């Protein structure tokens, strides 16, 4: 067991998968989605009874899904009284993405500030079930895109890594996640003993966490299992050898591959991952999943009737993974909190907000107003999910 790891703690204390495990309530949502690269061919999932439900049926001598649902509701309420999590809507169903894609209109109506969505109302929260907000700082570093791997490393990535470690060391409550081990390994080799010791401490203290931990964040549309696995193994081997088994990731972070494959869900399950996050899903599918609070689900392989390879999956709802598209549905608001875009900040590739509302410096005079504005976005984002936990990637 790992201790003090940001995402792990999030799941242990607050999020659905751990809660589901703790309560053995495996009935909440079983959905499987697969997005192809050009099309959106989808996979099927079958709802299945999991041991707890069978046990419950035996004890209660009932075979009524309605009663089972009631039982689960009571358990959920009991859990929420402990202040851990509240599930706003309990539901169970299967989404066959192949059918869903046949029925979706893909008409792309203008949704307002959330162009591909709709005018989201903020979720109502009360003191008993306050919103639990996890802000997860990250940096997306392609090992090769417009520049080469080497060019990126020299001009940007090594500076990002150094800045992260230095910044984390200044405040023990700062956190960061890192995915691309190819960059990390290069950077690590160039560090002196002092910096290496700092990194080990940051990992131990849970301020720094590796996610997915592959050599790269792989393309999933055109790759095959062998290539996906060997790069994952390569990254994990580095982490294991340098830092130890306990720092090998258990959470997947895939925010930029253009289309997702169930092969990755299968692979991560095989590597004992507990959950994964995906982002570049077709806007129409995102909208559909958002409308029915289905952005978190168990991803089922078509060949897996037992559900042994179910992988808990979180889909980011909005257009992109950058700051304007992660705090909530209105990028014009979120962008104001992208401090790399503040006037005078000369971050590489920084730009002013294209939504015509500039990033703003926060001080004692506007902190309350700024906070309420940001919270409104968090509450709107939370309305798209079923629990009082909301994930806010920041990077």
Question: Is 7 or 141 the residue whose CB approaches Zn ion more closely?
Answer: 141
> What mask of x and - would describe binding to Zn ion in positions 102 to 141, judged by CB under 5 A?
----------------------------------------
Residues 190-249 that bind Zn ion (CB under 5 A): none
Q: What is the distance between the alpha carbons of residues 391 and 328, in angstroms, rounded to a whole number? A: 10
The answer to whether 310 is a known catalytic residue is no
The answer for residues whose C-beta is within 8 angstroms of residue 248's C-beta and 6 or more apart is 210, 213, 236, 239, 240
At 122, list the tokens.
Answer: 């903020």
Least separation in angstroms between CB 30 and Zn ion:
30
Query: Which strands sit side by side in the sheet containing 311-315, from one edge to the other?
Result: 251-254, 275-278, 311-315, 296-299
Least separation in angstroms between CB 139 and Zn ion:
11
* Residue of closest CB approach to Zn ion: 256
Q: What is the distance between the alpha carbons of residues 85 and 13, in angstroms, rounded to a whole number? A: 8
CA 39 and chain centroid, separation: 23
Which of these is catalytic: 256, 310, 322, 338? 256
Least separation in angstroms between CB 338 and Zn ion:
18
Tokens 């309350």 correspond to what residue? 368
Contacting Zn ion (CB under 5 A), which of 185, 237, 246, 256?
256
Question: Is 100 or 141 the residue whose CB approaches Zn ion more closely?
Answer: 141
Using the rule CB under 5 A, give the single segment among 53-61, 252-260, 265-273, 330-338 that binds Zn ion.
Answer: 252-260
Question: Is 185 or 256 the residue whose CB approaches Zn ion more closely?
Answer: 256
Judged by CB under 5 A, the number of residues near Zn ion is 2
Residues 303-322 that bind Zn ion (CB under 5 A): none
142 is an interface residue for Zn ion by CB under 5 A:
yes
At 353, list the tokens.
Answer: 């907000």
Q: What is the DSSP annotation of 10-26?
A: HHHHTSHHHHHHHHT--
Q: What is the distance between the alpha carbons of residues 296 and 265, in angstroms, rounded to a whole number? A: 14
Positions touching Zn ion (CB under 5 A) are 142, 256
């Amino acid at each position: 067991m790992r201790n003090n790891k940001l995402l792990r703690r999030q799941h242990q204390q607050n999020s659905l998968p751990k809660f589901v495990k703790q309560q053995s309530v495996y009935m909440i949502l079983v959905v499987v989605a697969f997005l192809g690269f050009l099309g959106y061919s989808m996979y099927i999932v079958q709802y299945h009874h999991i041991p707890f439900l069978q046990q419950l049926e035996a004890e209660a001598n009932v075979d009524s899904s309605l009663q089972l649902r009631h039982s689960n509701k009571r358990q959920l309420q009991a859990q929420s009284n402990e202040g851990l999590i509240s599930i706003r809507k309990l539901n169970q169903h299967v989404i066959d993405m192949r059918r869903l894609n046949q029925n979706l209109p893909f008409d792309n109506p203008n949704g307002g500030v959330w162009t591909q969505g709709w005018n989201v109302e903020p979720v109502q929260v009360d003191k008993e079930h306050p919103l639990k907000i996890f802000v997860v700082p990250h940096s997306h570093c392609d090992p090769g895109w417009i520049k080469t791997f080497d060019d990126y490393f020299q001009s940007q990535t090594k500076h990002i890594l150094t800045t992260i470690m230095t910044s984390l060391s200044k405040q023990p409550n700062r956190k960061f996640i890192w995915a691309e081990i190819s960059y990390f390994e290069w950077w690590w080799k160039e560090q002196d003993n002092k910096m290496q010791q700092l990194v080990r401490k940051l990992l131990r203290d849970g301020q720094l966490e590796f996610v997915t931990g592959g050599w790269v964040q792989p393309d999933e549309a055109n790759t095959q299992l062998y290539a996906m696995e060997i790069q994952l193994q390569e990254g994990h081997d580095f982490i294991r050898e340098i830092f130890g088994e306990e720092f090998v990731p258990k959470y997947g972070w895939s925010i930029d591959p253009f289309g997702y494959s169930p092969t990755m869900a299968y692979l991560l399950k095989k590597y004992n991952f507990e959950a994964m996050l995906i982002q570049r899903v077709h806007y129409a599918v995102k909208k559909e999943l958002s409308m029915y609070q289905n952005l978190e689900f168990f991803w089922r392989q078509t060949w897996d009737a037992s559900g042994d390879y179910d992988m808990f999956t979180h889909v980011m709802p909005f257009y992109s993974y950058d700051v304007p598209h992660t705090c909530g549905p209105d990028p014009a608001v979120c962008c104001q909190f992208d401090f790399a875009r503040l006037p005078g900040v000369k971050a590489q590739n920084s730009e002013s907000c294209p939504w015509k509302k500039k990033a703003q410096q926060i001080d004692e005079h506007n902190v309350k107003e700024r906070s309420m504005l940001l919270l409104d976005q968090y509450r709107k984002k939370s309305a798209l999910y079923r629990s009082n936990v909301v994930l806010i990637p920041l990077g």
